[in-house]
């Protein structure tokens, strides 16, 4: 064991010496390993972080919520027939009330009208391109936003159609800059004057398509008194949440039956609405992530192949330069396996150095992306070990043939070499 430790220490020192003596040659040889490890670990790190963020969002929203409207999120078993979906009728309060009165599996049901082209004004400030969400009671039970200032609507306000509004974080910041509190102040849009009763906390992107930061909330019945929310081009969404202990499939089956009945869809005729689930998004994203994984692995494979040849080249040159030393070691009793181990560990050390540089670059990339993407992109212990493990394997594969040739040198011939 002591002898093995000595060989490892000596080989490590020689590898570091190679870096110092032949900086350019070593750098170019390690570049392939560094790029390969960077590609592999970066792809795994970003995808793992994305999946974690998506799963956390889905968990916070709940996988027991159905999102029902005329547009399916995914193709329904083939081509996405948008021209057919466009002709469907939008969801209305008729469907909402049917669900509320007839369903045995629904805990909450809500209706949301979306409009993504609102221009809001406050004094001399104006902001365009706001997403407005006109909702009925229980919308807050199905979305993971929080109130930062003021309060949310009560049910009487939502059902009564009062001119109250809750602003998103970015909207509030732009309409009421500085330390100005928006609560209790007026905001105008759609030709009407609204009173701000609350401001949402910064929420970030939402996998269901809601942009609460650059949006505002108001009563559905208020919007219905101003706009034609039942127009066939209106963006209407009916959401239902299951009672505790009720699965998504059971909820979907009963909801489908109620909606078919209230919409008078004949038996055997295809639904004129789409029931969407968050699981559809995660399944599609998992497929996409698998494809990206594959592309990243292919790129990394070729980078590591080039890097492996580079490491092998360094090791052959190293064997050539130290032929006499190898002969002397064998002449005084060094065994083949000791010479083999020495050069093999040297190759592994060089690959590990290249791999660690790639991993450090991934960590730096994670810091940049964390600030840019709004959620943490962090290198996990699993991906760190994957990077180290692959570096080690490349070192073994690239260094074995040069190490084997060194161990098989004839000591007499090696000592006489120049």
Could you give the 3-state DSSP secondary structure of residue 181?
Answer: coil
Gap between the Cα atoms of 33 and 14, Å rounded? 19
pLDDT value of position 198: 94
pLDDT of residue 386: 85
CA dist 334 and 327 (Å) reads: 9
Q: Locate tokens 């004839």: which residue?
A: 410
DSSP string, 103-149: -SSEEEEEEEEEEEEEEEEETTEEEEEEEEEEE-TTGGGTS---EEE
Give the DSSP per-residue string, 243-263.
PTT--HHHHHHHHHHHHHHHT
Nearest CA among 263, 226, 273 for reference residue 115: 226
For residue 256, pLDDT beyond 80: yes
Give yes or no for a contact between 175 and 167, defined as CB atoms under 8 angstroms apart. Answer: yes
Pairing of strands 65-69, 274-277: antiparallel
Give the number of C-alpha atoms closer than 13 A to the C-alpha of residue 43, restricted to the C-beta side: 20
Of all residues in the chain, what percent are helix, strand and coil, respectively (each to 5)?
55, 15, 25
pLDDT in tens, 9-56: 766 676 666 666 666 767 777 787 888 888 888 888 888 887 777 777
Question: What pLDDT shows up at residue 418?
Answer: 58
**Unique residue bearing structure tokens 């104006």:** 126
Assign 165 a pLDDT band (cuts: 50, 70, 90). Answer: very high
pTM: 0.69
Residues 341 and 4 sit within 8 Å (Cβ to Cβ):
yes
Give the residue from 157, 127, 176 showing the smallest Cα distance to 217: 157
Domain-wise residue ranges, the chain:
2-57+283-416, 89-272
- For 347-414, list the strands marked E by DSSP: none
Residue 76, pLDDT score: 65
Give the pairing of strands 215-219 and 125-135: parallel
Task: Scan for tokens 């609460």, then name that residue.
Answer: 212
Instruction: Phi first, then psi: give them for residue 230, nearest 5 degrees.
Output: -100, 5
Per-residue pLDDT at 104 exceeds 70: yes
Cβ contact 356:41 at 8 Å = no
User: pLDDT by residue (tens digit) across 144-161?
Assistant: 888 999 999 998 899 887
């Amino acid at each position: 064991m002591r002898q093995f430790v000595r060989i490892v220490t000596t080989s490590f020192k020689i590898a570091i010496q190679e870096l110092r003596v032949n900086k350019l040659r070593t750098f170019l040889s390690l570049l392939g390993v560094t790029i390969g490890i960077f590609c592999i670990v970066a792809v795994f790190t970003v995808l793992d972080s994305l999946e974690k963020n998506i799963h956390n969002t889905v968990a916070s929203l709940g996988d027991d919520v159905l999102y029902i409207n005329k547009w399916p999120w995914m193709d329904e078993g083939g081509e996405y027939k948008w021209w057919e979906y466009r002709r469907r009728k939008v969801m209305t309060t008729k469907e909402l009330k049917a669900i509320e009165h007839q369903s045995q599996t629904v805990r909450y049901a809500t209706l949301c009208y979306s409009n993504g082209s609102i221009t809001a004004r406050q004094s001399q400030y104006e902001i365009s391109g706001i997403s407005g969400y006109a909702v009925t009671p229980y919308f807050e039970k199905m979305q993971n936003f929080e109130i930062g200032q003021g309060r949310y609507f009560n049910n009487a306000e939502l059902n009564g159609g009062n001119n109250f509004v809750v602003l998103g974080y970015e909207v509030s910041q732009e309409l009421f800059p500085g330390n100005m509190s928006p609560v209790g102040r007026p905001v105008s849009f759609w030709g009407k004057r609204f009173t701000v009763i609350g401001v949402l906390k910064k929420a970030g992107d939402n996998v269901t398509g809601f942009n609460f930061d650059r949006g505002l909330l108001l009563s559905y019945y208020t919007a219905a008194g101003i706009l034609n929310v039942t127009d066939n081009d209106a963006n209407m969404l009916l959401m239902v949440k299951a009672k505790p202990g009720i699965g998504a499939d059971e909820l979907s089956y009963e909801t489908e039956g109620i909606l078919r009945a209230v919409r008078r869809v004949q038996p055997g005729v295809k639904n004129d609405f789409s029931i969407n689930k968050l699981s559809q998004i995660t399944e599609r994203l998992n497929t996409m992530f698998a494809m990206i994984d594959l592309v990243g692995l292919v790129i990394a494979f070729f980078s590591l192949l080039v890097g492996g040849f580079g490491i092998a080249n360094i090791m052959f040159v190293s064997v050539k330069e130290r032929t006499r030393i190898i002969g002397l070691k064998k002449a005084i009793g060094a065994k083949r396996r000791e010479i083999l181990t020495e050069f093999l560990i040297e190759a592994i050390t060089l690959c590990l150095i290249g791999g660690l540089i790639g991993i450090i670059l991934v960590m730096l990339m994670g810091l940049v992306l964390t600030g840019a993407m709004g959620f943490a992109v962090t290198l996990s212990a699993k991906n760190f070990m994957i990077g180290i493990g692959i570096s080690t394997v490349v070192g073994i594969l690239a260094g074995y043939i040069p190490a084997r040739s060194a161990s098989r040198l004839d000591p007499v011939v090696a000592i006489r070499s120049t």
